[in-house]
Each structure stands twice: as structure tokens, then as C-alpha cells.
Structure 1
Amino acid sequence: MGAVESTRRFLDHFVPPASTYDPEKDIPDLTGKVVIVTGGNGGVGRETVKHLLLKNAKVYMASRSRDLAEQAIRELKEETGKEAIFLELDLSGLDKVTRAAKEFKSKESELHILFNSAATLGTPLEQLSDEGVELQFGTNVLGPAHFTLLLIPELVAGAKSSPDGKARVVNVSSSGVYLNHSRLLDWESLEKGGSAERSKLGSLALYNQSKYAVLAFSNEFARRYADQGITSNALNPGGIRTRLFRRMGSFSEWFIYTFMAYPVEKGPLTSLYVGTSPETKDANGGWFIPFARVSPHDRFTKNPEIEARLWEWIEEKRKGHD
């Protein structure tokens, strides 16, 4: 796939065909299901929580800010009559992630659906995670991967208690994977000493790289845990107007909010389809695109060699943080 073709694919995601998927009608009753939504206090994550509550799921809203989360929980209770549960989760440091996982484990023995929705974009190039990793990559990739892997026992238990024998991990990526550079992952840019590489790429390219890595982790996780009843799929939610783009500067923010045609209410459609639909219960290692469609992989979304290397990199970073 050349630059022209990858750009075409990127733009195609912004003008998807009309979808017949309707969460209000198509999400089955989720009574008895335990669900975590990361970044659930705002944007697409908040809308995801709302639909899950309406279908009687027990939802943990995993967020960094207690104040914002508790405000969202109050508002959602007014809208749905149901109350989400706050789980403090800061994805910028592995020890912080471990504390969140332990807190969840102290309350629940099963997890049926994990929506890895939280993300950051446009952080200053000099900012790093607690482990010295480029901050967007640390928050969007390493933190969620660590969180997911710590919850394997609960996901396995959730699969065993589910009527369809499955627990689902839903990983929110982006159409930015098609704008990622040809190396797919610039390993030097991830590390503390990679300031020159980060400066060369720039913040937006680093974000696109992190979203490719979300997809790469999802693919590798799918290969490794399918035999335990856990499925893992990645998706692009679409061109949604959210606060994610607030750090990109006034012109870029204006352009995005002007030409990203879809309101936040459209944002959770594909996530909910992947995470709850009976049609997707056997999907594993898939790539889903707006709205509620599966897409074939290509060389910009699937590379087993890089996926395996990323897995090893993540495991090395995780040592001593469990």
C-alpha cells in the first residue's frame, strides 16, 4: 500500500456508509455482566458507559480524575437511572495502573468486557511516562496493555461464566494508522534518549504511531489468549468531534471540528458492536471501522513480526510492576 492508497483508506473512514446498527435496539440485555470502560468520564467513553448502563451492565468508569468521573456518574444516573462505579486509573505510570487493577480485583472476581478507550493526543515532546516512555505511547499503549494483562484471571473467569464462553477486550485505535510512517514503529522514539527522533516525527506522528501500536498489541493478544476464551479486537471509532484534539492548536482544532462531521453520540457505535453484539462473539484479532463494520487487514494494520517484538518490549517494561 503506497502513500496514495493509505491516504484514501484514511479518508474513507471519515465518510462511512450509513449504519443499521442501533445500540438502543441491538445491544442485548447485559444483566450480570461486569464491564470496565477506560476514559469513561468524557467523549466516546462516556457515551459507551451510558449505553452499557441502559442495558443493565455493572460498569466501572476507569478515569484519572475523580472529580470529572464523579460528575459524569451523577449526570449518567440522571440520564439512565443507573450508577457507574468510579475506578481511579492513571495510565501514565505502570505502578498507578497496578493499583487500579488491584482495586478492581478487590471488588470483582470476573470481568466480561474491557473497553480500552482512554487516550491522549498532542502532549509536549519532552513529556515522558513514569517509566521514561514517550507520553502518548505510554498512556495509549503501555499503560492499557499492562492493565489488560493484569486482568487476565478476571477475564478468564468472565469467559467461563458467559453463556457464549467469551470475554471481550475492545481496543480503540484510529484511522491514523494509515498515516503512520513506513517503519510502523520507530523504536528509538519511544525511549527516554530518543528526543531527536521524537522531534523529527512530531507530536501527531507519534500519536499515529501509538494508535498503530494499539492495533498491534490487540492482534498479538488475540493470538496468545484465544484458547482461554478471551477475544481481542481493535477499531477506529470514526471522525468524531471530541475534546481529544484540544492540544493541537486553534487552527488544527477548528479544521478538525469543522470537517469531522460526526457528533460524539456516533463515537461508541463500533465499540459497542464489537464489545456486545452476538454477531461479533467469535471475532478475534479483527479490525473494525466506522460504523460497526469489519475491515480486512493490510500491511498497515497487521505485521506479526512487529507485533511479537512489541509484545516483548511491553513485557520487558512491565517487569517489577505487578
Structure 2
Amino acid sequence: MRLLSGVRPTGKPHIGNYVGALRNWKSLQDEGHECFFFVADWHALTTAYEDTKQLQQNTVEVMRAFLACGLDPNKSVLFVQSGVKEHAELALLFSMIVPLPWLERVPTYKEMKQQLSDKDLSNTGFLLYPVLQAADILIYLAEGVPVGEDQVYHVELTREIARRFNYLYGQTFPEPEVILSIVPKLPGTDGRKMSKSYGNIIPLENTSEELEKSILPMVTDPARKRRTDPGDPNKCPVWDYHRAFGISEDEKQWVFEGCTKAKIGCIDCKKLLLKNMKRELEPIWERYSKIDEHFTKDVIEEGNRKAKSVAEQTMKLVRERMNLLF
């Protein structure tokens, strides 16, 4: 299948980005799919338009994370959204045919306005976010979109937009399928949603010592105030990390019996987690150390060129279908 997905460069990538997206992308790449993965810098402007000082650097850092996590520019097309201007042209043309109520009913539109109530999100770019997202996907004629559950509705809207365009102008776009990534949502180190504003994230680019400083003080089941108190792993944020980093059946039994019967302390449980996390993350840290900014920008330029060659062909067809003179 031809697949497409992207990440907004709102900051340096963290463990949640890896577990929620990048790890799955590498698996899809290694399965032999035709993959397009991009840094969605225009999308970052929909909620952070007022401060763009770090946008360029964040964009480069996200691409470094792509490479460190094993995405291969020889196997996948790795590019930056703003480097392929055809995305904007297709989004403009889609905006001519998308009814306003379609956008106003998007669940995340109201949810994000409530969650980000301290920001002025009355800009049209925020409302048109799903239209640009549809252009991102359809301009590459993608057949599948790897996303988390929170993005399923956006892909469904993309299917509706493709269907409407095909009805009006003739068969042009496929209706992409959701490739759902079922992964545990990692909380922050304090048990709340992982967020820079809470100061509870774990950076993906890290060291063994710094990872220990993040994990060992993590909050656990509130019922375990003392080591002798029994707990419930299902109520403990550390358990979400265990599930994400490949705990074995024997280890799972050890954690559940030790926690529920107060046979182990929370530090013992966290030390097991650290062992499993380091096993998976150390190769990524090693690759990080070898990827500099110059190489990353070369990858971006080459990826933009490859992506643009595909996007140009799609736009040529779109203009013909819509009877545009130029």
C-alpha cells in the first residue's frame, strides 16, 4: 500500500511521539509499504502562529527523530510539508467544494478550542485544518493513513472530500483507509497527559542517566503510600510504560503479583521498566549521536524533491479535471 502520515513540529520529539507514531511507521516501512512521512510545519501554525521562533529548528529536530528511529530515506520519502507548495494549492481547491458544516462538526475542532482556551483559535487556518490534512493525504494518492484513534474522524472526512471531488469531476482520488495504531497512551511522568506545558515529558533523544532521573521519581498507584501497601498496576502510570516497552509474560506476572500482594516496591518495578526501555531506546540514542543538522537538511531536500515530483503529477491531473487554464 501507499501510506502517508505526518507529525507537527511543536517541540523536540518525546517518548510519546515514538510509541504513538514513529515506532509503528518503521514497522510499516520494513514491511515493504510505499511510505511518505512528513513534518507538518504548516499544521503547527494552526495553533502556534503567534510564536514561530523555534519552528525551523523544531522541524529539523523532528526529521532527526525520524532518522534516529530507523526511518530510511532510501525506503521512505521523508519530507517537510512547506517544501511542497502543491499541498497548499490542493487545499485551496478542496476548500471550494467542502461545505462549512463538514468542518464545524469535526469533534476535535470543539475539543481543541476547549483544551486551548488560553489561545485565540478564531483563525481560519484552524477551521480549515482538516482540509489541508485531506490535501496532504490525497495529493500522494495514499491508500492508507497510519493514525491514532483521535485522528480517525479526520481520515473519514478525507474520504468524504475524495468522494465529493470524484463525483463532481470524475474519478481522481482513492478513498484512503485508516491504519489504526493501537498503542497505550503514555501519560507524563506525573500521571497527567504528557505535555511540554506540564513539564512532564521524557525526551526521545536522551541518555541512560537522564532516563533514570525521569522514571525513578514517577508517580504510581496512589494507594501505595508505603511499600507494604498493596496496589493495582492498572491504576499506575508506570504500567502503561511497561505495556509500551515489551514486558514479557513472566515479568508481567512478577509485577502483578508483586504489586497486588506488596511483595515488591515501586522502585523495583521501575528498575524493570528501565531495563526494557533502555534495551529498545539505546540503539536510537546511538543513531542520534551520528545524525547532524547538515545531514538532516540534505535528507529533507532530497525528500522534498521526491515528494514534489509525485505531487506535481497529481496536481496536473486535478487541474485537468477541474478545467483550469493553468
TM-score, structure 2 as length reference: 0.35
Highest RCO, 1 vs 2 (Cα 8 Å, sep ≥ 6): 2
TM-score, structure 1 as length reference: 0.35
Rg (Cα) greater in structure: 2
